[in-house]
A and B are shown apart, each in its own frame.
Chain A
């Protein structure tokens, strides 16, 4: 009895110190995010239960679930949820495929590779507004690049930003173009962990490019791809500038994602509380994706660990 007490006493201080040190590594980032993101977020979520106006952000009254029930009953809301999901799906798939293949293509050494990498990061390095302006111009029905090329090739023209048939596609093209380099960057970094000798071995064995990718490269970059996919999804759900500036949610609401309607509600209608309620639904969407991700992630990590 006395012995064990003595033992605990001697172990404890050292252990406690070490534990404390652990927290100190994570504390700065945590405090930081608490202050600049979580506090505003909590405030934002709270607003969803009030009738706050933008012109008087602190003067709202608590009105319970009214904002939510009225949203759930509106066709426009469900339309924006559908649009968000569609926009997100296509963006994620498009950027992942494009970004990964770009990274693979640029991972091998060849002359002028660095320059090409530079070129391929241009879209991401560019202010969104610049990308938007050039795409508006490219989409211009009479003098835009697309329709001019279309006319030259005889495949006709389209109202890229005016025709409800094309609106979302136009926004998606611009988005994927703007965003895919970030996938390329991250995958390029991840590719460096694929042992060179493994890939060499695969090549000598005569494995064709695809099966060498699937069998050797893909497993190595899979954890990275998963996290990139998650980030892409979450970023797509909340992407705002490029959509809003290109189409403002039109034509005929075909690009009116949840976040675009949040902005319209908050700043056009000055209705901060409905915007906040919408925001909660947006968060919910991201939340579901994240939880799904973590479930997959744990399963996969376990699989990797056991194999």
Chain B
């Protein structure tokens, strides 16, 4: 039952600041996912919680007690590394029992030579053996207990890494992209297993990933990080439907939220590129804004249908049950450059079934009045969403 509090945590390596003003609180039994692109500082954050990396300034508290200076084991955390970091020279059993043995070590056992003797002795204790076998059973590792990591598959190694974390009784489990080395199928299986584990152990998990699917499926709460700063904190649903800024909007979802530049004049919103008038109610009366809309909220209509905007098909990917349509507001035959990456150029719509369209077709897209986000073009921050919803 531990609450972890971050107050204005900063971290810099030399002149590079990797974490800036990180403040948050993690309550008990949470499954908190730190989500962000690589290099956003999320792993550093996790390592600071574990005590593997020093904190430059600010405080981390466990139940109110400052733990900045504590050694990792004094913090009593469990950590699953991206590379698993198994001990290659130890069997699975030895790997899993290692934290238990260390817990039972007195100071002087650490003397060279004595330490290896004591390690062997403690490993034989029935309570240690029992605990190891218990965890091994949970994770279906029993047949492999006497093998070394080299003789295991990737998924099995992953489970050993989890087992090594689970065998203890830590205050928090820290997982650093634990699934990134697995193939897609195994990954979805392990996602389910980890979620199940979280429910069973009843402790907080802090989970670092750059994979939004993992964040969406497993988290009770998500912290989106970019360039060392918290972009948004919220449940997966909040993050998805109410992104706090264009970064979150563009990072979450596949394809991500469409960000369409709009010109607002006299309370009327026009698509900036074509000047086409829409019936949307913008949150500002005057100026440039970005309209954020999830691809699945757009629906296909005939061109020139009233209330719909006109667009041209740039791509159509049939995914079986649904189709992702890439569209632009101008005839793609006019394009001299294929600028599919340009967010202002191509937007996406996700529609069910396989509509009979092909690249270059002129289509109409209906924009619903609710579930829209408006962002300030300058700051990228969201604009009074509530008023829009009301409208």
Contacts and interface: CB of A to CB of B under 8 A. Distances in A.
**Do A and B come from the same complex?**
yes
A4 B59 CA distance: 11
A14 interface: yes
A194 to B, nearest CB: 13
B287 to A, nearest CB: 42
B209 interface: no
B57 A14 contact: no
B69 A7 contact: no
A11 interface: yes
Interface string B38-66: 00000000000000000001000000000
Contacts of A7: 57
A6 to B, nearest CB: 11
A176 to B, nearest CB: 36
A45 B69 CA distance: 47
B330 to A, nearest CB: 40
Interface residues of A, number: 5
Nearest to A13: B69
Interface residues of B, number: 3
A302 interface: no
B68 interface: yes
A22 interface: no
Interface in B64-81: 68-69
A107 B191 CA distance: 41
A10 interface: yes
B25 to A, nearest CB: 20
A211 to B, nearest CB: 25
B36 to A, nearest CB: 21
Contacts of B68: 10-11
Nearest to A8: B57
Interface string A67-91: 0000000000000000000000000
Contacts of A11: 68-69
A71 to B, nearest CB: 46
Interface in A17-51: none
A10 B54 CA distance: 13
B206 to A, nearest CB: 23
Nearest to A197: B150
A10 B68 CA distance: 10
A11 to B, nearest CB: 6
Nearest to B59: A7
B57 A10 contact: no
Nearest to A7: B57
A199 B68 CA distance: 45
A4 B57 CA distance: 9
A10 B57 CA distance: 12
B305 to A, nearest CB: 53
A14 B70 CA distance: 9
Nearest to A12: B69
B152 to A, nearest CB: 12
Nearest to B68: A11
A36 to B, nearest CB: 25
A14 B68 CA distance: 11
Nearest to A11: B69
Contacts of A4: 57
Contacts of B57: 4, 7
Contacts of B69: 10-11, 14
Interface string A224-261: 00000000000000000000000000000000000000
A14 B51 CA distance: 13
A79 to B, nearest CB: 50
A14 B57 CA distance: 15
Interface string A89-123: 00000000000000000000000000000000000
Nearest to B66: A10
A11 B69 CA distance: 7
A262 B68 CA distance: 58
A11 B57 CA distance: 10
A88 to B, nearest CB: 38
B85 to A, nearest CB: 17
Nearest to B71: A14
A76 to B, nearest CB: 52
B61 to A, nearest CB: 14
Contacts of A10: 68-69
A4 B69 CA distance: 15
Nearest to A196: B150
A7 B69 CA distance: 10
Interface string B248-264: 00000000000000000
Contacts of A14: 69
B56 to A, nearest CB: 10
B106 to A, nearest CB: 20
A11 B67 CA distance: 11
A4 B58 CA distance: 9
A7 B60 CA distance: 13
B320 to A, nearest CB: 34
A7 B55 CA distance: 11
A7 B57 CA distance: 8
A14 B55 CA distance: 13
B39 to A, nearest CB: 14
A245 to B, nearest CB: 42
A219 B51 CA distance: 34
A10 B59 CA distance: 12
Interface string B13-28: 0000000000000000
Interface of B: 57, 68-69
7 contacts: A4-B57, A7-B57, A10-B68, A10-B69, A11-B68, A11-B69, A14-B69
Would you list the 4 A-B pairs with minimal beta carbon distance, nearest first? Answer: A14-B69, A11-B69, A10-B69, A7-B57
